[in-house]
Amino acid sequence: MGSPLYRRIAQQIREEIESGQWREGESIPTELHLSEQFGASRVTVRQAIKLLVEEGLLEKVQGSGTYVKEQKIEHNIFELISFTEEMRSLNKEPVNKVLDFQLLEPNDHVKRMLNLQVEKKVFYVRRQRLVDDIPYVVEDTYLPVDLFPNLSYGIMTGSKYDYIEHELGKKIKDSFQEVIPVLPDEDIAEALTVDGGTPVLKIRSYSVLEDGTVFEYSENHFKSDEYKFTLRASRP
């Protein structure tokens, strides 16, 4: 016995989404159009659409209609979680590729952001953050040597926050972030595999421990066709 008609229709719609005939972010055809296309009742079409909404391929927007859901990573800027934690919560296993790791004397801007005194050095680390071999983020991080004297290349191929909290026993409290769209430099564009004329999302942030110590300053470049930032604002 074959599968129900609504499941076969849902499968055909899946194939059209995967082939790009139904584009992400666009509204889907009307129930009437789909019932004529598939030779099925509108009730059956509605069942197929409901199934695809439940699977996360389509989304209903109240008062507007049903759309092909954008398959971007949604990052809530009010949640302080690491890239590794965020990807694992989505059942994805991230890879951190260290592109640069060096000990240096920071410039004046980085010194100000980290509240560093003169002649204090930092570790500078550039990481390419990948999921399924796709680069999502290029991260430049500056960490005070005084706080992390044993930081290593190997540690930075894993989760930085996991190292700080679980191996060093330091409690992370807050991150202060600024989000701006930019055109990437040539090396950033290459690491994200985007054209230099494609805007990316840049986040400049500094993070503090529970005792108020600033422990990192980072500049993250997010691939805008893989990532989107969301927030929820409540009216008082």
pLDDT in 10s for each residue of the chain, 236 residues: 467 899 999 999 888 887 778 877 788 888 899 999 999 999 999 999 999 888 778 888 887 888 887 655 555 544 546 677 777 766 777 889 999 999 999 999 999 999 998 889 999 999 998 888 888 889 999 999 999 999 999 999 998 988 999 999 999 998 888 888 899 999 999 999 988 888 898 989 999 999 999 999 999 998 876 666 665 656 66
Looking at CATH, the fold of the domain delimited by 73-230 is given as Chorismate lyase (3.40.1410)
* C-beta of residue 208 within 8 angstroms of C-beta of residue 214: yes
CATH class given for the domain over 5-68: mainly alpha
Nearest alpha-carbon partner for 225 in 97, 70, 27, 83? 70
Burial 21-48 (b: 16+ CB within 10 A, else e): ebeeeeebeebeebbeebebeeebbebb
Q: What is the per-residue pLDDT for 17?
A: 80
Q: What is the per-residue pLDDT for 229?
A: 62
- Domain boundaries along the sequence of the chain: 5-68, 73-230
DSSP reduced 3-state for 48: helix
Using one digit for the tens of pLDDT, what is the confidence trace for 182-232?
999 999 999 999 888 888 989 899 999 999 999 999 999 988 766 666 656
Q: What is the per-residue pLDDT for 25?
A: 75
Q: What is the per-residue pLDDT for 70?
A: 64
